[in-house]
Each structure stands twice: as C-alpha cells, then as structure tokens.
Amino acid sequence: DFGLDMSNRSPLLNIIFQSLNKVTRGVVRDFGEIENLQVSPNSLERFVSKTKNKISNSLLSDLTKSRPDWGIKINNNSDYVKDKHYWIVDSLNGRFNFLHGLPHFAISVAVELNNEILSAVVPDPIRDEFYFAEKGKGSFQNDRRIRVSKRNKLKSCVFSIFDENTLNNKKSITNYFEEINILSYQSSSVTRSFGSSALSFAWLASGKIDCLFINKINKNQIACGDLLIKEAGG
C-alpha cells in the first residue's frame, strides 16, 4: 500500500490504485528473489515471464470486473473502437532491469477514449512512489503536485535517453545517440539512461530530468507518459 489519501481521488483513480496495490507487493517480493536465484539465464527468463503474467492476469481480472464494457490493451495491441473506453496496461516496464536485479522498473495503467488519454498511473514499487494524472487536474507524485523542470541553461540539465533497440541492435541508434552526446558534451550537461520508459516519463514530469530522447517506442508505452507530462506543464 502506497499510503495515499484515497478520499479526494476520483472513483476511476481509486479503482486503478486498488488494482495496482494488489500486485505491487508481489512484484517487490519476486524482485527480492532475483538476487537469490543462482540459476541459468533461461530459468531467470521464465521466472520474470511468470512475474509479468501474474501482474497482467491480476490487473486484467480486476479492471475487467470494475468496467465490464471497457476494452483492454495489455503491453502492445492496437484495437480501437470509437467512443469506447480502453484500459492500457504495461505490466512490467523495465523488464531488462528487473531481470538483472536492477531496482528500476514500473507498472503503468492508463485510460483511453477516442485516442485520448484521460487518466494515467505509474507506480514505482521499489521507492514507494505513485505517479498519476487525470486530464485537466494536474500531475502528482503520491500526494504532491509535480511540475516539469524550470531549468533553462543546458549546463545545469540532465538529458535522458531511452531506446529498447539498444538491447538488440546497436546500429539503429548509433548516430542518434552520438548527436545527443555531442550536444550534452558541448553544453556541459549530463546524459543518463535508466532503462524504464514509464519512470523516465514520470521523472521528466516531476523535474528530476530535463529532457528525454526516445527512439522507437510503441503507443501503449507512451500512453501514461503523455498525460503525466502534459498535466505537469511539459
């Protein structure tokens, strides 16, 4: 439980929070097991896939029960019907970090209607931080309003990069990242790559990082970040 004051939340946010609270404890417990598992890479892959499936199944069950007539998009499918609400779920964002015992990953749930995101929630289970936004109501980290960075000099900025292709295809990103690194070097700013797009969006919305460069990311992964950043003034 993230200890949030639920009394002033919308019914929709309460549904999302309650569904996520059910899975976050299990995710943290499974993550603790990663470091203790002295097993083959294949066994670790199976363990992480099992964790991801548990999250998906639990959220699918709860969210479908709460709004039976809504559609659901898990991870990356592109079903779309006009005037129909959709849940968009990314069940383990930062999977590669999780697999390697790096404590930087998240889950995300958003609500979409007619290609517009109405609500977005991104919990960071390891840090007990809950980022969320509703259209027209601002962005929050736990019970604190968040806004994007106001830093206006490059030398005091943190650039961040996210590209899933770095795991498999170095060629696709070489020129793209070289340009960013040159800009960073010339302006005496710093560049960081964290490995979770959902948390990078949340950190951009809360001003922890100043600029985020993303290459080749699917629409469902952008869903939460889009609203978080807009509602934080980005």
Amino acid at residue number 173:
I
pLDDT per residue as tens digits for the range 109-137: 999 999 899 999 999 999 999 999 999 99
User: What pairs with residue 213 in β-bridges?
Assistant: 161
Asked whether 145 and 139 are in contact (CB, 8 A), the reply is yes
What is the chain's mean pLDDT, rounded?
86
CA 25 to each of CA 16, 31, 87, 140: distance values in angstroms, whole numbers, following the listed order? 15, 10, 22, 21
Which stretches does DSSP call E strand in 100-172? 106-113, 116-124, 129-134, 138-141, 144-146, 158-163
pTM, rounded to two decimals: 0.87
Asked whether 9 and 133 are in contact (CB, 8 A), the reply is no
Q: Is the pLDDT of residue 41 over 80?
A: no
Greater model confidence, 48 or 192: 48
139 CB neighbour count, 10 Å cutoff: 25
Nearest to 20 by CA among 129, 146, 143: 129
Least confident stretch, 11-25, 83-97, 150-164: 150-164
pLDDT > 90: percent of the chain: 59
Section 100-116 average pLDDT: 94
pLDDT per residue as tens digits for the range 151-186: 888 878 888 888 766 555 555 555 666 777 777 666
CA dihedral sign of residues 68, 85, 23, 66: negative
Q: Is the pLDDT of residue 231 over 70?
A: yes
Q: How confident is the model at residue 63 (pLDDT cuts 50, 70, 90)?
A: very high
* pLDDT score at 117: 94
* pLDDT score at 89: 94
* pLDDT score at 35: 75
Which residue pairs from 68-77 have beta carbons closer than 8 angstroms and sit at least 24 positions apart in sequence?
73/112, 73/220, 75/220, 76/218, 76/219, 76/220, 76/221, 77/220
Q: How confident is the model at residue 73 (pLDDT cuts 50, 70, 90)?
A: confident
Q: How confident is the model at residue 39 (pLDDT cuts 50, 70, 90)?
A: confident
